């Protein structure tokens, strides 16, 4: 089974994800990412490679981050220890100080016992599959073992947070004066920097989920648990709420009445605003196949093309880089604004969303009304042969029949899992009852035809 998943190496900390594994992975990363022309030129000039390392506040991040830093320094890499910061902050800092690469220790929205290791190349960009495969191969056989003055140094990156805050504030078109926002920081990496940044931008800020103890990250709070945020917004009479996940690369919102504003709606708001000011490259938004039909319709109404990708922010990023697009993301709240970031950035997204409220004088509910969210029903059909989903004639006939019944008022998507014998059936329709009826009927056909 491959070591790298869709977003780095992830697992139970001190289970599969041990300090030994983290150290060896860091050593292999130093070997592979130290082979480029820029890295060779640095060595030729007598300079060592440099790397930024950051983590979220979960307790296992302390020993895993220490192991990563030890592996890098023992391979001759100078390490800038940025401490607890969001994943997008780490990506930004790599580019900002022209480091050779960087490592983020985080399991994002997963519970506290899990952790992960995300590796970024020069410029703060995620690694392509082929480079991850080279790193995994190098773990088995290759190390750099300098001695004496050749070993790397580990230094505290003292102004890391300040650099990131200045960057975020510099990206704002309008200040947030007069807007009351509740921030849910998921007891995660945004707990310090997000409230500070929103206040510096002029917002009145109420904070929940910002008391990390190493064990409570994502525990009933954050972007995967929005009920507390909705209640806090209503109780405080706030204008909106912003929810991050554990490493703050996501942003979801709730309006003044506590209604959820998901990633599709946020992208719709930002896409229209960016087009109006000529900042939406090629008048195109990049979104995954799971994005709501309502997003497609809203964008068509505003003359914006939606380019679809496979599910996963890495595929959104690939499409954005290949086509030179400026905005993309996922329904889950990973929103990428390529002018300012190389990855999803929950703080940047939240600031831009509130800035649009300040610019227009509209409520979040008014802004979100440009998109009608179609009911979306997802059924996971387990214990089936996912490899035959695209070829089985009866399954494809059932998909065609369901699509024809829905017509322009709905959509059908069959998506085999990439990791288990499971097929996901997703149906959108004008009402939930129709969507559920169609999804369950189609799921029955998949279950019958593809059973193992």
**pLDDT exceeds 80 at position 38:** no
Lowest mean pLDDT among 84-93, 133-142, 147-156, 170-179: 133-142
Record: fold of 163-368: Alpha-D-Glucose-1,6-Bisphosphate; Chain A, domain 3 (3.40.120)
CA distance 198 to 38: 37
The predicted structure's pLDDT at residue 253? 98
Q: Rounded mean pLDDT of 107-129?
A: 94
**pLDDT exceeds 80 at position 52:** yes
Give span(s): CATH 3.40.120.10, the chain. 9-158, 163-368
Lowest mean pLDDT among 34-43, 109-118, 355-364, 435-444: 34-43
Q: Note the pLDDT tens digit of each residue in 376-386.
A: 899 999 998 98
**pLDDT exceeds 70 at position 350:** yes
Confidence band (pLDDT; 50, 70, 90) for 6? confident
Give span(s): CATH 3.30.310.50, the chain. 376-450
Average pLDDT, the chain: 94
Percent of the chain, pLDDT > 70? 99
Q: Rounded mean pLDDT of 146-166?
A: 96
Confidence band (pLDDT; 50, 70, 90) for 2? confident
CA distance 293 to 137: 42
Confidence band (pLDDT; 50, 70, 90) for 334? very high
Q: Note the pLDDT tens digit of each residue in 413-443.
A: 888 886 678 899 999 998 899 999 999 999 9
The predicted structure's pLDDT at residue 110? 93
Here the tokens at position 59 are: 């307790």
Q: Report which of residues 99 and 408 the model is more confident about.
A: 99
Q: Report which of residues 389 and 284 the model is more confident about.
A: 284
Q: Rounded mean pLDDT of 14-20?
A: 97
Q: Is 108 annotated as a binding residue?
A: yes
Q: Report which of residues 314 and 76 the model is more confident about.
A: 76
Looking at 3.40.50.300, 3.50.50.60, 3.30.310.50, 3.30.1510.10, the CATH number of the domain 376-450 comes to: 3.30.310.50
Q: Is 249 annotated as a binding residue?
A: yes
Lowest mean pLDDT among 102-116, 251-265, 428-442: 428-442
Q: Rounded mean pLDDT of 305-332?
A: 94
**pLDDT exceeds 90 at position 43:** no
| Run of H or E including 81 | strand 77-84
Q: What are phi and psi of 143, to 5 degrees?
A: -140, 155
Here the tokens at position 405 are: 């019944």
Q: Rounded mean pLDDT of 291-310?
A: 95
The predicted structure's pLDDT at residue 409? 85
Q: Is 108 a catalytic residue?
A: yes
Q: Report which of residues 7 and 51 the model is more confident about.
A: 51
Q: Rounded mean pLDDT of 343-356?
A: 97
Q: Rounded mean pLDDT of 105-120?
A: 96
The predicted structure's pLDDT at residue 419? 66
Q: Rounded mean pLDDT of 255-261?
A: 97
Inter-residue contact 240 to 233 (CB < 8 Å): yes
CA distance 92 to 80: 13
Bridge partners (DSSP) of residue 103 are 53, 119
Q: Note the pLDDT tens digit of each residue in 57-108.
A: 999 999 999 999 999 999 999 999 999 999 999 999 999 999 999 999 999 9
Given the residues 65, 108, 291, 332, select the one marked as catalytic.
108
Please check whether the domain covering 9-158 is classified as CATH 3.40.50.450: no
């Amino acid at each position: 089974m491959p070591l790298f998943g869709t977003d780095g190496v992830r697992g139970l900390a001190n289970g599969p994800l041990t300090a030994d594994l983290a150290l060896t992975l860091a050593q292999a990363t130093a070997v592979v990412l130290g082979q480029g022309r820029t890295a060779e030129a640095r060595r030729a000039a007598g300079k060592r490679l440099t790397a930024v390392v950051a983590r979220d506040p979960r307790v296992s991040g302390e020993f895993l981050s220490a192991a990563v830093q030890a592996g890098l320094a023992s391979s001759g890499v100078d390490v800038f220890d940025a401490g607890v910061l969001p994943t997008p902050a780490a990506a930004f800092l790599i580019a900002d100080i022209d480091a050779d690469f960087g490592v983020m220790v985080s399991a994002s929205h997963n519970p506290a016992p899990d952790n992960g290791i995300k590796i970024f190349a020069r410029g703060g960009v995620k690694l392509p599959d082929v480079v991850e495969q080279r790193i995994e191969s190098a773990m088995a056989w290759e190390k750099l073992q300098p001695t004496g003055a050749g070993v790397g140094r580990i230094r505290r990156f003292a102004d890391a947070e300040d650099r990131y805050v200045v960057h975020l504030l510099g990206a704002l078109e309008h200040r947030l004066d007069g807007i009351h926002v509740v921030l849910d920081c998921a007891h995660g990496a945004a707990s310090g920097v997000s409230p500070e940044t929103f206040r510096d931008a002029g917002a009145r800020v109420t904070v929940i989920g910002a008391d990390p103890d190493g064990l409570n990250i994502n525990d009933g709070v954050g972007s995967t648990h929005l009920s507390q945020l909705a209640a806090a917004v209503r109780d405080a009479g706030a204008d909106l709420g912003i929810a991050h996940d554990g490493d703050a690369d996501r942003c979801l919102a709730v309006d003044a009445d506590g209604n959820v504003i998901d990633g599709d709606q946020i992208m719709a708001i930002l896409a229209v605003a960016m087009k109006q000011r000529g900042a939406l490259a090629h008048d195109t938004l990049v979104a995954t196949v799971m994005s709501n039909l309502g997003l497609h319709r809203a964008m068509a109404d505003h003359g914006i093309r939606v380019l679809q990708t496979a599910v996963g922010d890495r595929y959104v990023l690939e499409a954005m880089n290949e086509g030179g697009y400026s905005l993309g993301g996922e329904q889950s709240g990973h929103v990428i604004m390529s002018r300012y970031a190389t990855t999803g950035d929950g703080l940047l997204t939240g600031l831009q969303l509130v800035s649009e409220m300040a610019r227009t004088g509209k409520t979040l509910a008014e802004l979100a009304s440009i998109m009608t969210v179609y009911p979306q029903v997802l059924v996971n059909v387990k214990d089936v042969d996912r490899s035959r989903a695209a070829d089985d004639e009866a399954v494809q006939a059932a998909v065609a029949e369901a699509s024809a019944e829905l017509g322009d008022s709905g959509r059908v998507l069959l998506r085999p899992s990439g990791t288990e014998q499971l097929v996901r059936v997703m149906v959108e329709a004008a009402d939930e009852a129709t969507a559920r009826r169609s999804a369950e009927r189609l799921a029955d056909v998949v279950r019958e035809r593809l059973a193992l």
